[in-house]
Structure 1
Amino acid sequence: MTLPDPTNASRATPNIPPEKASLHIGSSTLIPAPSPKVWAALTDTSTWPTWNSFVPRVTIRSQPNASSQSPLSPILQQGTKFTFHVRMDPTSTSEKPQPATDVHLLITECTAPDSETGAVGRIVWTGDYEAPGTMSRSLLLAERVHEIRDVEGGTEVRNWEAQVGWVVFVVRMMYGVRLQANFELWVDDLRRFVEGS
């Protein structure tokens, strides 16, 4: 089955309509598995080293309502502050170690899918602009959306990001094509992991 609008080019993020985005990238896939299984893989960052070539490591920096006596949960939820350790060239066959690019993020919305009611699962993250070393919003505002929806035959997964700001023109020129390929790899990796587990 081919999904319509696979790059989600017509979809807005909470604060950036597609026509205002200086960079808009996205990917989609259909996974022949129930939505709770897909959602669990996407939101449990402890599984990411197993399947996520683009972001094989995540550091959870804080969780809402976390106790200082217990370790931070690896599960993404609304209010989670975390750092992606990104591999910009995840398909490289070079034996030379690839340096990670750290991206500080914040979950602003997180609602699990519900198979009984048909509710769509949705997770949104944006830059954590309070984290040290993060660019100001005026230079780069990025928002990313993941949607998980039950469909006949499994789960539809959609993933898109919109960016605005002065720095985006450089990002688009230097990394636009690679980021699009990495977004496509993200959903392919997720599908292979869920199908194999």
Structure 2
Amino acid sequence: MTSPSLKNDNSVKSNLTPPIPTPHWGSQSGASFTVRATTTISARPQSVLDALLNTSSWPEWNNFVPRASLTNPPKDSNNPTRLLPGTKFTEHVDMAGRGRSTIVKMKLLMTVLDEMNEPGKNGFKVVWLGKGYPDWALRSERVHEIYEEDGGGGTVYDVYETFSGPLAWAVKFFVGGTLVKRFGQWNGELKEFVEGKC
């Protein structure tokens, strides 16, 4: 696994924002906040998508979530560790970002893998839903947009997760700042990994 050497990586922007609507939950009035991180990767969108979806590569680069366990590996794939829509999986999360101890296990469901052909966004959209809590208590949805950079020759990787429900305030209060750091770390380490493969 790569060492987390991204403390001064100015190519990654990561912050808390007002709630961003998501495909499943839309723009709920009860949404609390969004964690968002963006970077540009010197590679094609397909290479970024492949690294994101191939969970067997996560231990090589991902110190925030160094492992994922697939509950129902896809039956129609040559790679049983590759995420596809309908896949239920558990992220083994290290909130310290050192790729060592698992502090949190987060249950998720991948719901979307679509091509994007919007003005200025030619690439892919991946979405997964948080399934660790009842929907009435905490709702989370993570959206990954991977698209060609306008005129730059690289790929924009923009990931955001919107939280809502009565427990969202607690997530923001207790770990909001940590999530900003870890989302930025995820982006920076994915960038480093993909660019190292090119």
- 2:3 paired residue number: none
Map 1:73-92 onto structure 2 (within 5 A): 73-91=80-98
Q: Which runs of 5 or more residues in structure 1 are unaligned?
A: 129-133
Output the amino acid matched with 1:157.
Answer: Y
Where 1:170 maps in the other structure, the secondary structure is helix
1:170 Cα deviation from its structure 2 partner: 1.1
- 1:108 paired residue number: 111
| 1:53 equivalent in alignment to 2:60 | no
Where 1:169 maps in the other structure, the secondary structure is helix
Q: Which runs of 4+ in 1 moved over 6 A?
A: 1-8
Where 1:25 maps in the other structure, the secondary structure is strand
- 1:180 paired residue number: 180
Pick one of 147, 150, 161 that aligns with 2:148: 150
1:81 Cα deviation from its structure 2 partner: 0.5
Structure-1-length-normalised TM-score: 0.81
Where 1:47 maps in the other structure, the secondary structure is helix
Aligned-partner Cα distance in 1 for 2:19–2:172: 18
Q: Which runs of 5 or more residues in structure 2 are unaligned?
A: 1-9
1:66 Cα deviation from its structure 2 partner: 5.7
Where 1:63 maps in the other structure, the secondary structure is coil
Aligned length: 182
Q: Percent of aligned positions with the same letter in both sequences? A: 32
1:11 Cα deviation from its structure 2 partner: 3.8
- 1:25 paired residue number: 35
Aligned-partner Cα distance in 2 for 1:164–1:175: 15
- 1:193 paired residue number: 193
Note the aligned Cα RMSD (angstroms): 2.8
Q: Which has the higher strand share?
A: 2
Structure-2-length-normalised TM-score: 0.81
Output the amino acid matched with 2:95.
Answer: M
